[in-house]
Amino acid sequence: MNTSPMACRLGCGACCIAPSISSPIPGMPNGKKAGERCIQLDNNNLCKLFGDERRPKVCSDFSATIDVCGTTNAQALQLITELEQMT
């Protein structure tokens, strides 16, 4: 298992789609369900709240690693979806 931090792939968005987020998100006061696209994810799969203090802590604390994000955007979506289903 490789849990070393890696550079996030811009435009991936898997961490903003696959997991459920129970924290309030601007525009989504009840958080979001697993598999639901975050309202703050733009058309280029970039977070509109990146660097904004309103961004949920769970989002800013996420650290991309090869075992969670794989080597492609599709693999990241698959791996994070599997992790969500196991928890």
Q: Which phi-psi region, left, alpha or beta, contains residue 49 (left: φ > 0; alpha: ψ -120 to 50)?
A: alpha
The pLDDT of residue 19: 97
Q: Which pTM does this prediction carry?
A: 0.89
**What confidence tens digit (pLDDT) does each residue in 44-58 have?**
999 999 999 999 999
Cα(86)–Cα(4) distance, integer angstroms:
22
The pLDDT of residue 80: 97
